Amino acid sequence: MLVFQRNADLQAWVAQEKKDGKKIGFAPTMGALHEGHLDLVRAAAVRGDQAVVSIFVNPTQFNDPKDLEKYPRTPGRDLHLLLHAPCAAGYMPPVEEVYPPGQDLSLTIDFGALDKTMEGAFRPGHFAGMATVVNRLLDVVKPDRLYMGQKDYQQLSIVRDMIRQLDLPVALVMVPTRREPDGLAMSSRNVRLTPDMRAAAPAIYRTLLDARKRFAEMPAAKVQEWAFSELRRAGLLPEYFELVDGVSLLPVHTFSDSHFVVACTAVKAGEIRLIDNEVMKNDF
């Protein structure tokens, strides 16, 4: 596996790979890798892509400086995991490679409702920072395919819209959420959960699965109310639990409102904020 820190070195390698007829599959990450991230690499390998994984803790997408400071960083372990994934190239750029001093790369796209609700409402500025860095990394890496996790469903929806609006020459591949055996979605933040909160956290996925059963029988508002009380009963603090159209991310009210419904939730588990989602209905 090759490891690059400079854009020019990575780009020279990518150009050669493409010349040799290879496709590039890219998975942007913030490191502290786990099996969920490695699934992105495996999804690329299955399609015969040369997998490139970036590890870059993007300062512009953290609205809380404490969260940025405490974000787990495990570069040595990450490289070891990538080596065995197997990944073709790791890309660990310093900040000035991603954001060259004096250049304003910030992206100002109108995402309509996509970036206003849910995470957008609770983490102001987060999606502007995320879209900017993904656009920048795509411009550097120039992959054929971009691999992202369903775990961050709203993020993925926004990136899909960005690709459409900017007409970027890349195909987006959604990789299903990898979970712990008890259902908790894998996340780099899970290592920061206290033992009590780690024990409480599987209630998130349980609630999502139960919500799916209830949604067939009751209005979304009732499901939402039930889910809030269920999450609280488990000792978690729900921020939102929304049933939305899986494309527009607009709220649905009843089962027949949309063919494709996703429930998205964010909870505080003590100090740690966790997100998850599950498809409630897919009639496509």
Would you please indicate which residues are annotated as catalytic (active-site) residues?
37
Decide if 244 contacts 250 (C-beta within 8 A): yes
How many angstroms separate the CA atoms of 24 and 141, rounded? 9
User: Which residues, 6 or more positions from 60, have their beta carbon under 8 angstroms from its beta carbon?
Assistant: 99, 106, 125, 128, 129, 132, 133
Q: What kind and span of H or E run contains 65?
A: helix 65-70
Shortest distance, position 33 Cβ to ligand AMP, whole Å: 8
Give whichever of 79 and 186 is closer to ligand AMP, judged by the CB atom. Answer: 186
How many angstroms separate the CA atoms of 34 and 218, rounded? 37
Shortest distance, position 188 Cβ to ligand AMP, whole Å: 5
Encoded tokens for 264: 């998205």
Give whichever of 135 and 224 is closer to ligand AMP, judged by the CB atom. Answer: 135
Q: What kind and span of H or E run contains 249?
A: none
Shortest distance, position 147 Cβ to ligand AMP, whole Å: 7
- The contact set with ligand AMP (CB under 6 A) reads 29-30, 36-37, 39-40, 148-149, 151-152, 175, 177-178, 185-188
Shortest distance, position 69 Cβ to ligand AMP, whole Å: 16
Give whichever of 49 and 220 is closer to ligand AMP, judged by the CB atom. Answer: 49
Spatial strand order in the sheet of 272-282: 237-245, 260-269, 272-282
Give whichever of 123 and 215 is closer to ligand AMP, judged by the CB atom. Answer: 123
Decide if 49 contacts 23 (C-beta within 8 A): yes
Give whichever of 38 and 223 is closer to ligand AMP, judged by the CB atom. Answer: 38
Encoded tokens for 270: 């003590």
Residues forming a β-bridge with 267: 238, 274
> Helix, strand, or coil here: 277?
strand
Residue whose entry in the numeric block shows the structure tokens 């490191």: 31
Shortest distance, position 234 Cβ to ligand AMP, whole Å: 20
Backbone φ and ψ for 4, nearest 5 degrees, come out as: -115, 145
Encoded tokens for 26: 């890219």
How many angstroms separate the CA atoms of 279 and 261, rounded? 6
Give whichever of 7 and 190 is closer to ligand AMP, judged by the CB atom. Answer: 190
Shortest distance, position 221 Cβ to ligand AMP, whole Å: 28
> Which of 203, 199, 185, 126 has its CA nearest to residue 158?
126
